[in-house]
Structure 1
């Protein structure tokens, strides 16, 4: 009888508890908010907000009046306990960040983890997320990707992270701020490579929204040309590492160089010299030579 009694108690406890709603908010354009999000923000008992003033502006725009409670990086541990206590009594609470989907690089992880520990229902709403929006418009493979949040502030830590991702085959997503973008792209050029395809998407859904495509070195040059290019909220999308086959490695420039040198010196010396110039394996050049040169 005891297992059945425990199960009944568990069900009753779950039903008596409240609900925590994870509510995405617009990342720039207020029109992007969903009708379901507006309904929940209107009808919950209170809203747990990363920034009370910021959320007040959003609510005022939609003529919503509701109680706000703060939960941010500094007070999350303490506030989570208070919110859990309210949820246990049956309250319904919405969690929002300043913009986008809560918890994605924003406070809320501790609260949600404690909700699961206390058998409190957590209901996520679909909605705005800068990383996903940027990825969808990047033109870079989106079937496999890894999200890395903001790059570290300090150069050594940043370079170490980038070095560890140099041979990551999935598409890589970063967030970055205007005052660090030049340093970060410089380190990406040095640690990941100057020719890696990269996309910088700024101010998503806002009036100044823009998308820049190019190699990492081209992006760095573009940013250095005008300080205005470094402004705005940014998402960096980097193409994953691709192990090139022999045919792909032999660019038109390499083949042209090989043909020019071959006219002046022996095939063996031609291959050795070209291999050194382009840091390419000699056997790849030999295979090409066998099919294109006549002794």
Structure 2
């Protein structure tokens, strides 16, 4: 901060900024931004508008994916001269699929103080409202842009039992969901969070086979940034534990008595497994 005594190092603050709604900026974040000497920003024009909204004039340094390794040294020099720096990204918490890793790692290597100013984070906000298990989740960031790479990245995750979380851009969301269906199965439960905290915030949820057409039918379905959340795979041996319910046997008993949808609902209530997964399994057994 300004006014550090001579010889003292400054502090690198990792400041979370709103992902949409400006009212989510914490008083502590505002106070920190008002006190630091320098703001390192992913996009100085974007962050300049945020600072202008707060009535602040600060020296801005661009720090993004393409220049971080070259620019980190000069920012660290600022810190060692006693100047404090706030690192912010375009939205949310820095370093979460955003620049800053190189800077923070090198600051810690030099023994400089790094302090988080917590706040908005799209993946945490989305998970909190998704209705999917949150005791274990795997954040994968952005999937590859090309179909071949996307499917290759999804393939090792087929048996992952933790909830999967991705970020996705609007112009790739339909292709990404299609590839999720192809690799993980169209009965897998999925939740998409779009435009979180903004005026047109929307959640799409259900089996992939249900969500994809809903997204295609929505005229706003390919607008805004997305958080993609997928229910994890059933743990291996789920039905092999001693005393576990033989779900396949139950489904076979129920199929002659009621529609597939009701069979899946009842089997899910009795077994604790995903209704969408059991619906697909019932369809398979019915065909057999």
Tell me if both proteins adopt one fold, taking TM over 0.5 as the criterion. yes
- 1:254–1:278 contact (8 Å) kept in structure 2: no
Instruction: State how far apart, in whole Å, the 2-side matches of 1:33 and 1:224 are.
Output: 33
The answer to whether the aligner puts 1:116 opposite 2:83 as a matched pair is no
> Could you report, residue by residue, the CA deviation over 1:54-83 in whole angstroms, capped at 9, with x for unpaired residues?
011111111111111110111111110110
Instruction: State how far apart, in whole Å, the 2-side matches of 1:194 and 1:223 are.
Output: 14
Superposed CA RMSD in Å reads 2.3
> Could you report, residue by residue, the CA deviation over 1:179-208 in whole angstroms, capped at 9, with x for unpaired residues?
101110001001001111110111111000
- 1:103–1:109 contact (8 Å) kept in structure 2: yes
> Could you report, residue by residue, the CA deviation over 1:158-193 in whole angstroms, capped at 9, with x for unpaired residues?
101111101101011001111101110001001001
The answer to whether the aligner puts 1:164 opposite 2:163 as a matched pair is no
Q: 1:278 deviation in Å?
A: 3.2
| Higher mean C-alpha deviation, range 217-226 or range 64-73 | 217-226
Indicate the residue corresponding to 2:264 in structure 1. none
Equivalent of residue 65 in structure 1, options 57, 61, 77: 57
Q: How many residues align?
A: 253
Instruction: State how far apart, in whole Å, the 1-side matches of 2:70 and 2:122 are.
Output: 28
CA distance 1:248–1:107, change in 2 (3 Å):
farther
Indicate the residue corresponding to 2:265 in structure 1. none
Indicate the residue corresponding to 1:99 in structure 2. 91
Q: 1:126 deviation in Å?
A: 1.1
Indicate the residue corresponding to 2:284 in structure 1. 278
Q: 1:91 deviation in Å?
A: 1.0
Whose Rg is larger? 1
Instruction: State how far apart, in whole Å, the 2-side matches of 1:157 and 1:103 are.
Output: 23
Indicate the residue corresponding to 1:254 in structure 2. 252
Instruction: State how far apart, in whole Å, the 2-side matches of 1:28 and 1:224 are.
Output: 24
Instruction: State how far apart, in whole Å, the 1-side matches of 2:172 and 2:178 are.
Output: 10
Instruction: State how far apart, in whole Å, the 1-side matches of 2:254 and 2:53 are.
Output: 62
Equivalent of residue 152 in structure 1, options 144, 149, 169: 144
5+ unaligned residues in a row in structure 1: which ranges?
Answer: 1-14, 261-274, 283-295
The answer to whether the aligner puts 1:78 opposite 2:84 as a matched pair is no
Normalising by structure 2, report the TM-score. 0.82
> Could you report, residue by residue, the CA deviation over 1:36-66 in whole angstroms, capped at 9, with x for unpaired residues?
1101101101100101110111111111111
> Could you report, residue by residue, the CA deviation over 1:73-112 in whole angstroms, capped at 9, with x for unpaired residues?
1111111011011111111000000000001111111000
Q: 1:224 deviation in Å?
A: 2.2
Instruction: State how far apart, in whole Å, the 2-side matches of 1:27 and 1:101 are.
Output: 9
5+ unaligned residues in a row in structure 2: which ranges?
Answer: 1-6, 259-280
Q: 1:256 deviation in Å?
A: 3.7
